[in-house]
Amino acid sequence: MFGWRKRNDGFEWRDYVRTTILVRRRKRRDRVGEARKAAVENLKAAGLRGAEVGAEGAKAMGRGAIHAGQQGAMLGAAGAKRMGLGAVHYGRRGAVLGVAGAKVAGSRLRAGIPVAWWYLQRFGAAVMAAVSYAWAVVRTLGGIGADYLGPLLAPVGRLLRQPSVRMPLLVAGGVALLGGIIRAFANGFERDTWIALLVGAAILGALLLAHLVEGTPTWLYSAAASARGRLRGRFAGLTDKPLVQGVFAFVVLGIFAAGAVTAWRSSSGGSITTASVSRHERREAAREEARVAAASGDIEGRGTAVSGDTLRVDGTTVRLTGIEAPEPDQTCTDADGHEWSCGRAARQALSGLLRTGRVVCDASGSAEGHSTGYCKVGDLDVAAELVRGGHVFATSGLFASYGGIENEARGNKAGIWAGQATRPSDYRAQKWEEAKREAPDGCPIKGSVRGSRRFYIVPWARGYERVKVSPSRGERWFCSESEAQEAGFKPSEQS
């Protein structure tokens, strides 16, 4: 029987016999399915309701924003209107007050112009009277002086009128005066410029006075007297006219005002602190124009210092014009009496300037096998900066370029001016005399031979004492550099 129950024989009794367990299971599954469907339906309904609520909220927010914007616009327009009305009101009041003030100022100005013009006329008349009186006094004193000094200066006048004396003095005075004028345009009115101008004017004035004392030619005297009479007749009573007096006073006051402004600018601080700097800047502007006009002579590139006043730019050696540096081995004395190598310091100063940028040199000439000219690094004149720092000397003479800057450096006790300094020319002369006393036949220049190189070294050059002259190698002594060069020797780098 049990065996029969286990047999199936293809008959599924579960499909035909419904037991209580199976029925319960099916009902349970049906209830779960219905619950799931109900949950889905509820979720759909909740989503739809939420969307409806969100749309209603957005609509409400939009209506609120529109309402707030309208209110804000209305308030802004009202505020703008208030501000506009206030601006118009106060603008009208300001304009009314300004017009009223202008009218008052105009009326007072119209009332004050005649008074000011009257005072200006009186001032002009007083100045003219003072000038006339001063001129009368000068003429009287001049006449008295001529009466007393004429006999005493008569021999001097006769000497100056001699052709053998007159022509040299005329040339010297003309050269001095012309040189002073050229120097004034190039460097400004420095001390040396004033000296040249005064010397030239004094010489030419003495010659002119000597000839005038001898007697004015009749034709010249009559022409001058006739012209003076015509001028007096034409301008007689002109100084008594109020218009002339007022214009003269206005011109005098304008000159005083211009002088006061100039003095104030020169004494006040700023980018230009001294008159020499201003003159230097004008000189640099003129040199810059000259360099532009002669661009073919420009040398540009990185520079290296050879000595305190010589540099090498793009393979070309350039010696700076207008300065002279201490010799490489030259020493100076500071304020405490200690020696220091001012020649080496000058070379280091030049090297420091050249490291700040590219160099542009206006090579305007040549000397001793080197190009000569002015060099700039950016806007700086290299030679001027070396003189201003007290590293080198400015060349002296009538056409010296940096005399004023050297005076400024000397006043500031900068560099070599802090103690005792010897100019390179004096230093070379001293070394020459010292070496000349010990050299054979008084010829101190040493000619040296190194392989195929034949060069000479001068007494003030570096390493002069270490060089030994050996005649067996073809070395010899020379009395001058030209003699050494004629013998085929070239200057050493130290020379």
If you count them, how many residues does the chain have? Answer: 495
- CA separation for the pair 155, 218 (Å, rounded): 24
394 neighbors 406 (Cβ within 8 angstroms): yes
- CA separation for the pair 477, 461 (Å, rounded): 15
pTM of the model: 0.44
Residue type, 207: L
Give residue 219's pLDDT: 55
CATH T-level topology, domain 276-421: OB fold (Dihydrolipoamide Acetyltransferase, E2P) (2.40.50)
Q: Kindly report, as residue ranges, where domains of CATH 3.40.10 are found in the chain.
A: 426-491
Give residue 270's pLDDT: 41
Beta strands in 279-336 (DSSP E): 298-301, 303-305, 310-313, 316-320, 323-324, 332-333
Report residue 356: phi and psi, to 5°: -80, -10
Give residue 237's pLDDT: 67
pLDDT tens by residue, 49-62: 766 766 676 676 76
- CA separation for the pair 472, 487 (Å, rounded): 16
Is residue 270 classed as helix, strand or coil in its secondary structure?
A: coil
Residue type, 299: I
pLDDT tens by residue, 326-363: 988 888 988 888 888 898 999 999 999 998 888 998 88
Give residue 440's pLDDT: 85
Give residue 150's pLDDT: 64
Residues 6+ apart with CB under 8 A from 481: 445, 456, 458, 491
* Sheet containing 453-457: order of strands: 476-478, 445-450, 453-457, 490-491
Residues 6+ apart with CB under 8 A from 449: 473, 474, 475
Give residue 132's pLDDT: 78
Cα-based distances in Å from 279 to 176, 183, 188, 282, 452: 21, 11, 6, 5, 51
- Two tokens, residue 246: 């007022």
Report residue 481: phi and psi, to 5°: -70, -35
Give residue 288's pLDDT: 47
Give residue 348's pLDDT: 92
DSSP one-letter string for 59-113:
HHHHHHHHHHHHHHHHHHHHHHHHHHHHHHHHHHHHHHHHHHHHHHHHHHHHHHH
- CA separation for the pair 291, 298 (Å, rounded): 7
pLDDT tens by residue, 99-127: 777 777 777 777 778 878 777 778 877 88
Residues 6+ apart with CB under 8 A from 214: 157, 161
Report residue 98: phi and psi, to 5°: -65, -45
Exposed/middle/buried for residue 49 (C-beta within 10 Å: 0-12, 13-18, 19+): exposed
Give residue 210's pLDDT: 72
Give residue 345's pLDDT: 92
Q: CA 87 from chain center: how many Å?
A: 49
Is residue 301 classed as helix, strand or coil in its secondary structure?
A: strand
Q: Kindly report, as residue ranges, where domains of CATH 2.40.50.90 are found in the chain.
A: 276-421
- CA separation for the pair 391, 330 (Å, rounded): 12
Residue type, 416: I
* DSSP H or E segment with residue 469: none
- CA separation for the pair 19, 64 (Å, rounded): 67
Give residue 388's pLDDT: 92
CATH T-level topology, domain 426-491: DNA Methylphosphotriester Repair Domain (3.40.10)
Is residue 477 classed as helix, strand or coil in its secondary structure?
A: strand
Give residue 41's pLDDT: 78
Give residue 4's pLDDT: 47
* DSSP H or E segment with residue 375: strand 370-377
* DSSP H or E segment with residue 463: none
Sign of the alpha-carbon torsion through 322, 327, 333, 338:
positive
- CA separation for the pair 445, 479 (Å, rounded): 6
One digit per residue, pLDDT tens: the chain, 495 residues?
444 454 555 555 555 555 677 777 777 788 777 777 777 777 777 677 766 766 676 676 767 667 766 776 677 777 777 777 777 777 777 777 777 777 777 777 777 788 787 777 788 778 878 887 787 888 788 778 766 666 666 677 777 777 787 788 888 888 888 877 876 766 566 667 778 788 888 888 877 777 766 655 555 556 666 766 676 666 666 667 777 777 877 788 888 888 787 767 655 444 433 333 345 455 555 444 444 434 445 788 888 898 888 898 888 888 898 889 998 888 898 888 888 889 899 999 999 999 888 899 888 777 666 788 889 998 899 999 999 999 999 887 666 678 888 888 988 998 899 888 888 888 888 888 888 888 888 888 888 888 788 888 888 887 788 888 888 888 888 888 888 888 888 887 655
- CA separation for the pair 352, 97 (Å, rounded): 65
Give residue 9's pLDDT: 54
Which residues, in sequence order, are bridge partners of residue 457? 446
